Amino acid sequence: MKYMMFVCTDAEPDTDQDNVPDIDVWVAENDSRGRRVRGAVLAPESAATTVRVRGGELLLSDGPFAETKEVIVGFDLLECADLDEAIEVARTHPMARHGRLELRPFADFEQ
C-alpha cells in the first residue's frame, strides 16, 4: 500500500538528540528495503505559490495559504504492507524527533 509521508517542521522539537538517526542512513536503508519509493526536500515556503480559481478568475498568492509555524519541508512516498509498517518507517525518520511526520494512505478509487 502506498503512503505519502509529509515531513513538517514543529514548534516543539524533541530536546533529546542522543541517537538521532542520520537522514542519509535512513534513506539508504529504506530505499534498499523497497519501502521508500521517492522523496525530496522542498524549497522554502517563501518560494511557494498558492493557486485558486474563484468565479472563473485565477487567484495567485505568494507563499503558503495557511499561516502556521508548522511547514511542510519535504515528503517521502512509501510502499508498505500496512499502516503499522508505515508507522515503523516514520518512527525511525530523523524528523520524527526534530519535526513531525504525517502519513496518508493513497485513496483507492477502484473499490
Contact (Cβ atoms closer than 8 angstroms) between residue 98 and residue 13: yes
Q: Tell me the per-residue pLDDT of 31-61, one tens digit each, with 9 for 90 and over.
A: 999 999 999 999 988 888 889 999 999 999 8
Residue the block writes with cell 508548522: 70
Contact (Cβ atoms closer than 8 angstroms) between residue 70 and residue 8: yes
Quote the cell numbers at residue 103. 502519513
Please tell me the predicted confidence (pLDDT) of residue 19: 64
Please tell me the predicted confidence (pLDDT) of residue 100: 92
Burial of 72 (C-beta count, 10 Å sphere; 0-12/13-18/19+): middle
Q: Which domains does the chain have, with CATH numbers?
A: 2-105 (3.30.70.1060)
Q: Tell me the per-residue pLDDT of 84-109, one tens digit each, with 9 for 90 and over.
A: 999 999 999 999 988 899 999 999 88
Q: Tell me the per-residue pLDDT of 58-94, one tens digit each, with 9 for 90 and over.
A: 999 887 656 667 789 999 999 999 999 999 999 999 9
Please tell me the predicted confidence (pLDDT) of residue 22: 87
Please tell me the predicted confidence (pLDDT) of residue 21: 67
